[in-house]
Chain A
């Protein structure tokens, strides 16, 4: 009688991973092949995708439920403007701004990661409010009214700008998702899930809890800062109350939970759902928001594991495997296995 084997890849996941590779390659040609409007929309989608994947890595894998990721979103944009004002070229400034915004998470993590559950969640919201209050005290970026990066981008034609933004967003999204994918498949990924499931038990078997959480926290901060800096590049204006709005975290929460928290594919599905909802009904104003809220409630009640979580449960389907699965021997002829 054969024994159970542990496997990561299946035929389906090998095929789908290959397909993802082809899809990414195809996406690189979007500005050449599709209309300007489609390019803009896909740039927006890529920003949502980054946000969803980052919140999922935090909450779904490290158990860090943050209500304050808008802190890094806003800081990424803020530092990009500061660097651009200081004479750095706008595209290098966008990249460096994202890195600076993410770097803020290193000192923040030292303190915040020692808090538990609800205290961490709210503490992060307060951190983001503090960042917002400090940024609006800085009159060089226009205080509460904000400022525009239009002048800095003046040297680029609208179509160049659109395409550059798109490629930047695609590069950032692919890089960040690849890092999350690699991280989750590594030893750290396994220890993170152990931390999420039971912090004390994980610590007792030798998992370095703070280090594990720290890696994800800093990674998610870089991701959110990159998303903020990309959002600045597409919207051209920096209004602090918009960039530091808690709505960004609300979007992340919506996408990650609707898609399927704690699965790699989930936030991708969630980002598609959110993007479609916004694209179809975003111009309906108040009723769009009422519908979005109602959708959040309906998903929470009907599909608490999210779309992908439910698919995974029901069909055992894993397209981009980050975990392992146990394959029981085929029960051929000899009755039920013991």
Chain B
């Protein structure tokens, strides 16, 4: 039973990871940018909301209506002023730009807020600790369930946006081949800026949830970034449902690992990540020799 509980909690945690990772996946999928500042932007969004809620006296939910559009605008500007220019110099230069941006964000936050852990736990009342008791051993936290539901909703919305709207189609076309997309009248610059705006806003939402569920400090970003990367890679690049699956695999691995040995949760997550990559490599090798993949291709 205790194992089942760990799996359930892991699945819920996976929702958070999927939310955290979806923006990263979008930017990589569309612009081929590995955004090393993704975790820091998530933390920045959370600090923004923290200030509005604690110094501005706003309800954290109302503050989201300020934070998310502002962060989206920030993402738009980031793409237009920095990433667009660095992308022109090849795929490696955005690494340097986003690395620099991450360092700047971390240290400016540190300058303003110090190294203390901050949490939005006290701002959300009973939601932070209420739970539904399923059996004597399994209970589901209302906040975890909310985060999972929001993650699924965001992924569904993104999926519908990408498949059903003209702008979404333009985005997919640009991701596939920016030059050809421009030939048929897509404004690639606008599409890229839009993708960056969505990615940064969703990252901020994930950051806010992180601060509600546990705590953040100015240097939390890189630690979250590695989980987001693992989620994206396990799920397969460019697939939104894959991202959810990736998050769940990572969350379950970490929670089950923690049950085996308290010092193991991160190690277990990392090992599962490598195992997934290894499986992909081995299956790829089989496939290239006309093995499994060739068989699957015929089905």
A residues neighboring B (CB under 8 Å): 59, 65, 67, 111, 114-115, 117-119, 121-123, 125-127, 129-130, 133-134, 137, 246, 250, 253-254, 257-258, 261, 286-287, 289-290, 292-297, 299-301, 304-305
Contact = CB atoms under 8 A, between A and B. Distances in A.
B97 A296 contact: yes
Contacts of A118: 28, 34, 233, 237
* Consensus secondary structure, chain B interface: helix
B194 to A, nearest CB: 21
Contact of B263 (A117, A125, A137, A289): A137
A246 B89 CA distance: 24
Interface of B: 28, 34, 36, 82, 85-86, 88-97, 99-104, 106-108, 110-111, 222, 226, 229-230, 233, 237, 263, 266-267, 270-271, 273-274, 277-278, 281, 284
A134 B107 contact: no
B104 A294 contact: yes
Contacts of B270: 126, 129-130, 133
A250 B219 CA distance: 15
Nearest to B266: A133
A115 B233 CA distance: 11
Given A254-B99, A286-B107, A300-B96, A115 B281 contact: yes
A59 to B, nearest CB: 7
A297 B89 CA distance: 13
Contact of B103 (A121, A134, A137, A292): A292
Chain A interface, DSSP helix/strand/loop, else mixed: helix
B90 A119 contact: no
Contacts of B230: 122, 126
A126 B226 contact: yes
20 contacts: A111-B274, A111-B281, A114-B284, A115-B277, A121-B34, A123-B274, A126-B230, A129-B226, A130-B274, A134-B267, A289-B103, A289-B107, A290-B108, A293-B104, A294-B104, A297-B97, A299-B96, A300-B100, A301-B85, A301-B86
Nearest to B271: A130
Contact of B266 (A129, A257, A299, A305): A129
Contacts of A293: 99-104, 107
Contacts of A292: 100, 103
Q: Which 3 A-B residue pairs are closest in the complex by CB-CB distance? A: A296-B100, A304-B89, A293-B103
Nearest to A143: B263
Nearest to A144: B263
Contacts of A134: 267
A258 B99 CA distance: 13
A118 B24 CA distance: 12
Contacts of B274: 111, 123, 126-127, 130
A117 B34 CA distance: 10
B263 A253 contact: no
A286 B233 contact: no
Nearest to A120: B277
B96 A296 contact: yes
A287 B112 CA distance: 12
Given A115-B281, A123-B274, A286-B110, 5 more contacts: A119-B233, A261-B92, A289-B103, A296-B96, A300-B86
